[in-house]
Chain A
Amino acid sequence: MIENGTKNKKALHIEDLSKNFGGLNILDQLSMSVTPGERRAIIGPNGAGKTTLFNVISGELKACKGSISLFGEEVIDMPNHQRARRGLARSYQKNNLFLNLSVLDNLALVLQRKHNHEGNWFKHRSPKAFPLLYKEAESFLESWNLAKKSHVKVAELSYGEQREIEILLGVAADPKILLLDEPTAGMSVAETQHMLRFLENFPVDMTMLIIEHDMEIVFGLADRITVLYYGKVLAEGTPEEIRADSRVREVYLGSEVSEKYA
């Protein structure tokens, strides 16, 4: 089948996806595809359904209708942990961490799953017993400048640091597809720059979908941009095409932004 052939080449393929809450269509027969390794930005005004789209893709919300496939495999009926095991990871718009655990223990929960130690109930989880896991944790924390904080409770870190851990928990799983929901939300300009450098250095074969309001990040990072408007795809294309699109300007970007990036 030809259709299946093209589906298989896609990291993510969404068809006819609908989600409504009490008669309100948040996602309205939405279709889109993302190719492997692509950086795709999802933009749109508030209430366009961006976060709902992420929640439906990750499986935290059940779609009402439609299909979602990851690398050719239909996942619409899978619970979210099974989708995660197929290489899907995400970060959240609002920090969603293990606040009372240390930075290292937060990260270890991701890494022990990745290293398939999550069923081990008899070995003390220590650097001695799981050297590879802790070595990887150490190198993550070092490259994210969090090594000094590794034993500090996440609740005691600054908002910006918590935000970094939010993203780190997503990327540390080494996912095939990473969904980032406004990674720089609430960050200062300096922190945003810092985050942008991290995002640029993510593995090139990792497919990334990113919801973002910061147009500098969107236009700096994305290969393609999808514009959502009332649960539908209003426009999709390269950054240049989106910038030039008059409908997008009208509903979202506004004249100021389009002039700045024209």
Chain B
Amino acid sequence: MNRKNLLAMSVLFLISLVLPWVIAVYPLGIVIEILIYGIFASSLNLLLGYSGLVSFGHAAFFGIGAYTASIFAQNVSANIFFTLPAAVIVSLLAALIIGFFCTRVSGFYFLMLTLAFAQMIYAIAHQWESLTGGSNGLSGIPVPQLWSGFSFEDQKLLYYLILIVFLLVIFGIRRFIASPVGQTLIGIRENEGRLKAIGYNIRNYKLLAFVIAGGLGGVAGALYSYFNGFVSPHEVYWTVSGHAIIMVIIGGAGTLIGPTLGAGFLIILQSVVSSYTDRWYSIVGLTFIAFVLFAPKGIMGLISLLKLPGKKEVTQNFNVEGEKA
């Protein structure tokens, strides 16, 4: 990381710290939503962007995380040290089971199978009324607590909680992707056949990526339930998976913060433009088409064009010379 980047990061971090004190409640809610969907889209990015696996069922884990956190909060305890791990563990297990089947197939079949599993989870959310409240969903979820007597009543506090989780997730993904396993996932995206011939058991790596992505998707879902105080089967519907794909692609698949930018783009469009016109969804559609056709690397791709006018793109992931010097 060079000095310029470090400076930009510090400024961004400071802004994010003072943000709740300078903006009103409604825009702060939008920022919180962007962070939550940023986590969600970033978790899908592990599959879609880094590993080249187009999952169309990522809403399953968002929903599982949201429902698990809510059910535990209602029935056991609203302590986040309890509800958050519970949501993560259940999402991880679900991802392990669903991934076990989905990673046996690839391409189009992978996409369809992930969609099918997610719709199964949707059906469960819809019909297991005694657990999930059916189509009414779960309302009156207790406010999350840090410990008894300290709850996140104030949205500012919730914002800081979600910001911390967001930063942990983003830096965790960054480190993971730079590791040998993460680099292997990129290898799968680039040339699965060659990687097998080198001696990698591809299916295990795909399953690992699927499980981690599912677990992080569950984190996003749990945070969403804290923020919203209400979950419904809508959170598991396939349109949520579709939105996540749009976020990743508009932001820049296979980049660290692209998915969060995509989430920001979509959510701002949704909340700002929808107050002027009912046709905001057509605008989302047209923007998506424009990005796919003219800027397939997304917002991050456009930014890198601004930064390096006329310069050749060079992958400089890691630096050998650094060691020599």
Contacts and interface: CB of A to CB of B under 8 A. Distances in A.
B314 A125 contact: no
B315 A100 contact: yes
Interface stretch (A15-23, A110-118, A184-192, A224-232): A110-118
Interface stretch (A1-9, A36-44, A147-155, A212-220): A147-155
B190 A125 contact: no
B34 to A, nearest CB: 28
Contacts of A156: 312
Interface stretch (A45-53, A62-70, A90-98): A90-98
Contact of A113 (B178, B200, B208): B200
Interface residues of A, number: 49
Given A84-B199, A120-B179, A151 B314 contact: yes
A104 interface: yes
B278 interface: no
Nearest to A172: B198
Nearest to B316: A151
B316 to A, nearest CB: 5
A115 to B, nearest CB: 9
Nearest to B205: A118
Interface string B185-212: 0110011011111111110000010000
B179 A98 contact: no
Contacts, number: 132
Contacts of B196: 60, 79-81, 84
B180 A112 contact: yes
A109 B176 contact: no
A109 B159 CA distance: 40
Nearest to B184: A118
A163 to B, nearest CB: 15
Interface stretch (A126-134, A202-210, A245-253): A126-134
Interface stretch (B93-101, B220-228, B283-291, B317-325): B317-325
B193 A138 contact: no
Nearest to A109: B187
A73 to B, nearest CB: 15
B154 interface: no
Contacts of B181: 118-121
Contacts of B197: 58, 60, 80-81, 84, 89-90, 96
Contact of B201 (A81, A98, A100): A81
A128 B323 CA distance: 7
Given A105-B317, A112-B183, A151-B315, A127 B178 contact: no
Given A152-B314, A173-B199, A120 B180 contact: yes
A261 B17 CA distance: 79
Contacts of B193: 60, 96
A234 interface: no
A76 B158 CA distance: 58
Contacts of A32: none
Given A90-B197, A105-B183, A105-B317, A124 B175 contact: yes
Contacts of A97: 191, 194
A238 interface: no
Interface string B129-171: 0000000000000000000000000000000000000000000
Contact of B200 (A81, A117, A124, A126): A81
Contacts of B180: 112, 117-121, 123, 125, 130
Contacts of A173: 198-199
A98 B190 contact: yes
Contacts of B187: 98, 101, 109
Given A97-B191, A151-B314, A81 B178 contact: no
A75 B182 CA distance: 29
A105 B315 contact: yes
A125 B179 contact: yes
Contacts of B179: 120-125
Contacts of A82: 199, 201
B315 A134 contact: no
Contacts of A222: none
A42 to B, nearest CB: 18
B169 to A, nearest CB: 15
Given A98-B190, A101-B187, A151-B314, 9 more contacts: A58-B197, A82-B201, A99-B191, A104-B320, A119-B180, A128-B322, A134-B320, A151-B316, A151-B320
30 contacts: A60-B196, A60-B197, A79-B201, A80-B196, A81-B197, A81-B198, A84-B197, A84-B199, A85-B199, A97-B194, A98-B194, A101-B315, A102-B317, A104-B317, A105-B183, A105-B317, A109-B187, A109-B195, A110-B198, A112-B180, A112-B183, A118-B180, A122-B176, A125-B180, A126-B178, A126-B322, A127-B320, A128-B323, A151-B316, A169-B194
Interface of A: 58, 60, 79-82, 84-85, 89-90, 92, 96-102, 104-105, 108-110, 112-113, 117-128, 130-131, 134, 137-138, 150-153, 156, 169, 173
Interface of B: 175-176, 178-184, 186-187, 190-191, 193-202, 208, 312-320, 322-323
